[in-house]
Amino acid sequence: MTLSSGMQHRSPDRVAVTGRILEGYPKEQRYTLAMLQDIQKEFQFIPRESMELIADHLELPLGKIYSLATFYKALSLQPKGKHVIKICDGTACHIRSSQMLANELYTLLKIRPGETTGDGQFSVELVNCLGACAIAPVVVIDETFYGKVTPAKLQEIIAQYGDAPEQSERSGGVAHD
Amino acid sequence: MKIVIDGKVCEAERGEYLLTVARREGIRIPTLCHNDALPGLASCRLCIVEVVEKGWHKVVTSCVYPVSAEIEVFTASEKILRMRKTLIMLLAARAPENETIGKLMQEYGLEKPDRFKKENSSDCILCGLCASACEKIGAGAISTVHRGVTKKIATPFDDPAADCIGCAACASICPTGAIKVQDKSGTRQIWNKAFELLICPDCGKPVVTREQAEYLRKQMQGNPIEYSGDGTVRCERCKKAAAADRFRTAFL
Ligand code: SF4
Ligand code: FES
Ligand code: FES
């Protein structure tokens, strides 16, 4: 699977799914963010065609939607992996060596924060305090919290989510330029 | 109501912005992001002044501070000057090569900092005036994109702006001249897009872009742009001359 960034062809699937999501909301600008959140949840990123559809739907310029979609960290323009690994880098986790976890993850999956494995299985993100400092350092995969994580433990955890790809190709990168 | 600015007694309406009052009285407060037609951005912070109300001192941005009490205002107190210098240095960190910022630094006796790299420099100070002008016009072709250190003003996906009509209002309103617009041999280049410039049939000067003329025609029924039969538009000057001619032939 290639996870190309930038221009995507309009996929009829995405158009249909986005359409269904938009139908659930009144045609009002204040629902833009909620629509984007639903779309992120559905596709693990915000496809261009979805943004265009929102713009049409709300009769707003595309720039408005694009501005929102690039502002929030919870929204992403790059396709995210099937499993999103969040490494907490808040103060407590940071002093308890969250950076080592990021390095370990790089050894395991060959991806750095903001990137996705070539097979689309994993994405990794560095996030701010998750409110679980007592069990720092914290790693969250999808919705599951893991506390007091060590590099060795991280390896075991990742293994539960399928095999780490051998020499995976990288894609994505930080969504900014 | 009466307020005192830098020792001068000034008459002000309730709710009027402090900056407006000061300007009317000929008191200069430096601004970058303020435009009378698009008030309310308050992003550059350069227009800060010190307000004293019932003995309490506070620093406010004069471009969005409505007068509501009999206050005393200092536009260049020691504190304000100190703060304003810091603000200018911050702007200079972003746009070290910019002429407008350079002039401000000179005015405030500031040295160009050498610890900032030229490579990442830009002329844009991210005030957002251009985007709000574009939105006000109704095109909304550009907006602020990303945030934090990667924030910038751009078109969606950095593509040639689909919604842009090539009016160049953004470029002309920009306080630092950051937006590039090039008019050359009948074509305007802006935001990665080329526009055909309509030429005045009388004097041959470029007037507006075709998209702009179309847009104006759609927006206002009483078409302010005079189309000749062949779809050309006249510039203001020739339009006046033509009107004067018609007047002369009709009445004299
Ligand atoms: S381009 Fe000019 S008007 Fe637009 S945000 Fe930058 S400085 Fe402000
Ligand atoms: S710093 Fe990581 S959970 Fe608070
Ligand atoms: S002019 Fe008031 S904040 Fe920019």
Amino acid A171: pLDDT:
46
Q: How do the domains of chain A map onto residue ranges?
A: 7-71, 83-162
What would the mean pLDDT of B171-176 be, rounded to a whole number?
Answer: 97
Q: Which CATH class is domain A7-71?
A: mainly alpha
Q: Which CATH class is domain A83-162?
A: alpha beta
The least confident of A38-47, B49-58, B208-217 is B208-217
CB contact at 8 A, A125 and A79: no
pLDDT in tens, B88-116: 999 998 998 999 999 999 999 999 877 76
Amino acid B205: pLDDT:
84
Q: How do the domains of chain B map onto residue ranges?
A: 2-107, 129-251
pLDDT in tens, A120-176: 899 999 999 999 999 999 999 988 999 999 999 999 999 999 755 544 444 444 433
Amino acid B250: pLDDT:
77
What CATH number does the domain located at B2-107 have? 3.10.20.740
Shortest distance, CA B174 to any CA of chain A (angstroms): 19
Cross-chain Cβ contact A48/B140 below 8 Å: no
Q: What is the distance of C-alpha B221 from the center of its chain?
A: 27
Amino acid A9: pLDDT:
65
CB contact at 8 A, B190 and B211: no
Q: Which of B104, B126, B132, B145 to mutate to test the pocket of ligand 1 (most atoms within 8 A of CB)?
A: B126
Q: Touching check for B160 and chain A: CB below 8 Å?
A: no
| Residue B223 pLDDT greater than 70, yes or no | no
Residue type (1 letter), A76: S
Q: Touching check for B132 and chain A: CB below 8 Å?
A: no
DSSP state for residue B205 in the 8-state scheme: -
Output the DSSP codes for B37-76.
TS-----S-TTEEEEEETTEEEEEEGGG-B--S--EEESS
